[in-house]
């Protein structure tokens, strides 16, 4: 089953750039009021309900960003729970029983400082995205003995370090049985199968 979920669109056309294409292919699309107002065939998701979408259960969590955004807790028909959170600057929730955590880890404050000391021009929207230390706190609060995969998302091209971020995440979750910590890569497909659990 294909479905698509989008959260923000006003100031962030890239968040919902593929909505028209998904609708063209008759893929059910879900989003917040911001997205629904622009695309009338998108199904509305709000914060007050747990939705059944096909055989999936979806709960929206409001996250701070400079456009309306949600994170999602997705309970799969095979029993896995996925936490998906990107385009946010803080994650305050503790979600129990996550098998997969897909969490933004956009930049590191010390990389920004180093570049500024070197006199490099920094054009960053960092105040609207999740910093490495805040991401590590969110992982610490949400990784559990069930978690098998942590996928770090939305790394800044110039203000992140993939291997360093992976190693920090591994350090935070040391002692738990997480088998994979990865950074999402453009064009890469990540399959999550029952056999992984």
Residue 55 contacts by C-beta under 8 Å, 6 or more apart in sequence? 1, 76, 77
Which class is 78-196 in CATH?
alpha beta
Q: Using CA atoms, how far apart are residues 87 and 154, in angstroms rounded to an integer?
A: 8
Rounded mean pLDDT, 168-193: 82
Asked if residue 37 has pLDDT above 70, the reply is yes
Angle between helices 132-142 and 162-172 (to 10 degrees): 30
Tens-digit pLDDT profile for residues 74-120: 999 999 999 999 999 999 999 999 999 999 999 998 888 888 888 78
Which tokens in the block code for residue 26? 């008759």
Rounded mean pLDDT, 28-48: 91
Confidence grade of residue 13 (pLDDT, cut at 50, 70, 90): low
Q: Using CA atoms, how far apart are residues 2 and 174, in angstroms rounded to an integer?
A: 34
Q: Given this model, what pLDDT does residue 10 score?
A: 43
Q: Using CA atoms, how far apart are residues 160 and 146, in angstroms rounded to an integer?
A: 28
Tens-digit pLDDT profile for residues 109-146: 888 888 888 878 776 667 789 999 999 999 999 999 99
Asked if residue 7 has pLDDT above 90, the reply is no
Q: Using CA atoms, how far apart are residues 8 and 159, in angstroms rounded to an integer?
A: 23
Q: Using CA atoms, how far apart are residues 108 and 155, in angstroms rounded to an integer?
A: 10
Q: Given this model, what pLDDT does residue 191 score?
A: 74
What percentage of the chain carries pLDDT values higher than 70?
Answer: 86
Asked if residue 164 has pLDDT above 60, the reply is yes
Rounded mean pLDDT, 17-33: 91
What's the mean pLDDT when you consider all of the chain?
Answer: 87
Rounded mean pLDDT, 40-67: 94
- Residue 172 has a CB neighbour count (10 Å cut-off) of 18
Sign of CA dihedral 79, 21, 66, 136: positive
Asked if residue 11 has pLDDT above 50, the reply is no
Confidence grade of residue 4 (pLDDT, cut at 50, 70, 90): low
Rounded mean pLDDT, 33-44: 91
Asked if residue 173 has pLDDT above 50, the reply is yes
Confidence grade of residue 1 (pLDDT, cut at 50, 70, 90): very low
Rounded mean pLDDT, 8-27: 75
């Amino acid at each position: 089953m294909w479905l698509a979920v989008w959260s923000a669109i006003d100031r962030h056309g890239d968040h919902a750039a593929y909505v028209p294409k998904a609708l063209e292919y008759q893929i059910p699309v879900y989003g917040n009021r911001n997205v629904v107002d622009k695309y009338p065939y998108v199904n509305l998701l709000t914060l007050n309900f747990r939705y059944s979408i096909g055989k999936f259960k979806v709960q929206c969590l409001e996250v701070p960003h400079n456009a309306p955004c949600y994170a999602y807790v997705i309970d799969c028909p095979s029993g896995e729970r996925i936490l998906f959170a990107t385009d946010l600057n803080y994650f305050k929730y503790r979600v129990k029983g996550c098998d997969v955590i897909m969490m933004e880890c956009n930049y590191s404050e010390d990389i920004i400082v180093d570049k500024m000391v070197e006199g490099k021009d920094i054009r960053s929207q960092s105040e609207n995205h999740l910093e490495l230390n805040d991401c590590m706190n969110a992982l610490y609060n949400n990784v559990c003995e069930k978690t098998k995969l942590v996928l770090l998302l939305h790394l800044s091209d110039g203000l992140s370090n993939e291997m360093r971020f992976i190693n920090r995440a591994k350090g935070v979750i040391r002692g738990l049985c997480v088998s994979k910590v990865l950074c999402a890569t453009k064009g890469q497909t990540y399959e999550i199968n029952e056999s992984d659990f």
